[in-house]
């Protein structure tokens, strides 16, 4: 999830080139609808979106099946990210900018971990 169209397009292209299937969303509302209707190995979201934050997204996502693992990627100050770091569904908080190789390595490590039930 990224509200900047250019960054969202580049990220999807990078991940698809690395062999991942991707969906994208630019708002908390759109992301909520996509997460509720699908199963994902990993959800990567910017902390600040145009209609809210990653914490708003986490509050809105409720499902009875497999919990999505959520990684927050942000340039926000560390104090702002404290709530995200403490949320049980957040498996990683990454700082922007991040090198392509590091991003792909981090993603590979997280998707290799089996999912858990809520």
Q: For the chain, which residues make up each domain, given as ranges?
A: 5-111
Q: Radius of gyration over alpha carbons of the chain, in Å?
A: 13
Q: How much is the mean pLDDT over the chain?
A: 85
- Dump pLDDT digits (tens) for 51-96: 998 888 888 875 545 467 889 988 876 677 777 888 888 889 998 8
| Fold for the domain defined by 5-111 | Rossmann fold (3.40.50)
Extract the tokens encoding 3: 């509200």
DSSP percent split of the chain into helix, strand, coil, nearest 5: 40, 20, 40
């Amino acid at each position: 999830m990224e509200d900047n169209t250019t960054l969202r397009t580049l990220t999807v292209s990078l991940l698809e080139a690395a062999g991942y299937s991707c969906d994208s969303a630019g708002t908390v509302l759109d992301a909520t609808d996509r997460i509720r209707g699908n199963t994902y190995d990993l959800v990567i979201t910017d902390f600040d979106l145009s209609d809210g934050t990653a914490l708003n997204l986490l509050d809105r996502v409720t499902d009875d099946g497999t919990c999505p693992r959520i990684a927050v990627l942000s340039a926000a100050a560390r104090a702002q990210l404290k709530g995200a770091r403490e949320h049980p569904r957040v498996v990683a908080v990454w700082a922007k900018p991040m090198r392509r190789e590091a991003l792909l390595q981090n993603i590979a490590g997280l998707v290799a971990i089996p999912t858990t039930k809520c």
